[in-house]
Amino acid sequence: MNVKTKLGRAAGIAVAAMGMATLGLAGAASASTAVIHTDATRVGAWEKFTLIDSGDGSPVIHYGLRTSAGYFLTAVDSGGRTSDVIHSNATWLLGWEKFQFNSLGGGYYDIQVADGHYLTAVGGGGRTTDTIHSDATRVGSWEKVQVACNQ
């Protein structure tokens, strides 16, 4: 079950990733390798993303993660990476900007990138460098995120 089905909402759901690792942007939109950090202890503006239904016609809904500045997160090379993993400067929702949220129950989800790998909060979070990988082939504790909806 994905976020849209689980939450019964249309596109444009504002969410905050919480739980094992609170994801946050390291600054304004950037193509640098330090775009995401996982050390936030509270949900602020940089930890909030808007889910945008990609409208690609797939039976599984693929979402774009739009930042508070209006840019989309990109899984570089559509996944499978341990460095230069996420960029936050995309202005269009294309293939590398599509993410799939799969419900694990209890408000937790894994996030799958376009090539089928899962996003990993390295070490379970709490980091400012080497924070996110996109090469996991199975879901473990580091691949779980808790999603909270905001209106």
Q: Quote the pLDDT of residue 2.
A: 47
| Separation CA 50–CA 135 (nearest Å) | 24
Stretch 60-77: mean pLDDT, rounded? 93
Please say if the pLDDT value at position 64 is more than 60: yes
Where is pLDDT greater, at 66 or 28?
Answer: 66
pLDDT tens for each residue of 111-129? 999 999 999 999 998 998 9
Q: 46 to each of 50, 64, 140, how far by Cα in Å?
A: 11, 16, 25
Band of the pLDDT at 7, cuts 50, 70, 90? very low
CATH 2.80.10.50, applies to 3-150: yes
Is the Cβ–Cβ distance between 35 and 127 less than 8 Å? no
Delimit the domains of the chain by residue range.
3-150
Could you give the percent of the chain with pLDDT greater than 90? Answer: 52
Please say if the pLDDT value at position 28 is more than 90: no
Band of the pLDDT at 89, cuts 50, 70, 90? very high
Q: Which two tokens stand for residue 12?
A: 């444009």
Band of the pLDDT at 37, cuts 50, 70, 90? confident
71-102 burial code (b ≥16 CB/10 A, e <16): bbbbbbebbbbeeebbbbbbeebeebbbbbbb
Stretch 27-32: mean pLDDT, rounded? 42
Q: Quote the pLDDT of residue 39.
A: 86
Stretch 13-31: mean pLDDT, rounded? 45
pLDDT tens for each residue of 38-54? 888 888 888 888 899 99
Question: What pTM does this model have?
Answer: 0.80
